[in-house]
């Protein structure tokens, strides 16, 4: 099973951006952890980060037929990008949305994700571990469907 892990705007600054909220691990470290967690679950993980909505949508489209599922931290796009919602819906792959922080416990405008309704699951507020949980969930789904 091949999984695409996508990180959206400003997540390239992980490690230096609000470490009290997002933790001290850099994006490179997080992506490396995802590859390791994935390998332990028998998953092949590829990673992508962009600050550009269109580039993220293009990469999701590109995952069709190449990847089996997606882990997506949309960053702030979660709160307003209907285009990203529609892309998630359009690719017809299971997408697990992840947020490092608990978006429901911060500013009011952050509490809602417009992308969530198109996702198979949403995991928030678990830090980097949320990515591990998302990968585990997708691995379990795959096993269940193979049975």
What are the b/e assignments for 100-123, b being 16+ CB within 10 Å? bbebeeeeeebeebbbbebbbebb
Angstrom distance (rounded) from CA 103 to CA 89 = 22
- Residues 103-132, one symbol each (x = binds ligand DQA by CB under 6 A, - = not), give x------x----------------------
Binding range to ligand DQA, per CB under 6 A, among 28-36, 49-57, 75-83, 139-147: 75-83
Beta bridge partners of 98: 123
Residue 73 is a binding residue for ligand DQA (CB under 6 A): yes
**Residues annotated as part of the active site:** 22, 99
Residue 23 is a binding residue for ligand DQA (CB under 6 A): no
In terms of residues, how long is the chain? Answer: 147
The structure tokens listed for 36 are 């390791």
Q: Which of 23, 38, 75, 94 touches ligand DQA (CB under 6 A)?
A: 75
Angstrom distance (rounded) from CA 71 to CA 32 = 14
Binding range to ligand DQA, per CB under 6 A, among 68-76, 81-89, 114-122, 135-143: 68-76
Which residues contact ligand DQA by CB under 6 A? Answer: 10, 73, 75-76, 78, 99-101, 103, 110
């Amino acid at each position: 099973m091949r999984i695409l892990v996508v990180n959206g705007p400003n997540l390239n600054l992980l490690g230096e951006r609000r470490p009290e909220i997002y933790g001290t691990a850099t994006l490179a470290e997080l992506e490396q952890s995802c590859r390791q967690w994935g390998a332990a679950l028998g998953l092949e993980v590829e990673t992508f980060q962009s600050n550009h909505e269109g580039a993220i949508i293009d990469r999701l489209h590109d995952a069709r037929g190449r990847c089996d599922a997606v882990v997506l931290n949309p960053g702030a796009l979660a709160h307003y990008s209907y285009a990203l919602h529609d892309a998630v819906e359009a690719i017809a792959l299971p997408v697990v949305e992840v947020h490092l922080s608990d978006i429901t416990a911060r500013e009011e405008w952050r509490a809602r994700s417009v992308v969530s309704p198109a996702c198979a699951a949403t995991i928030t507020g678990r830090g980097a571990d949320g990515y591990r949980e998302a990968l585990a969930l997708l691995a379990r789904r795959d096993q269940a469907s193979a049975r």
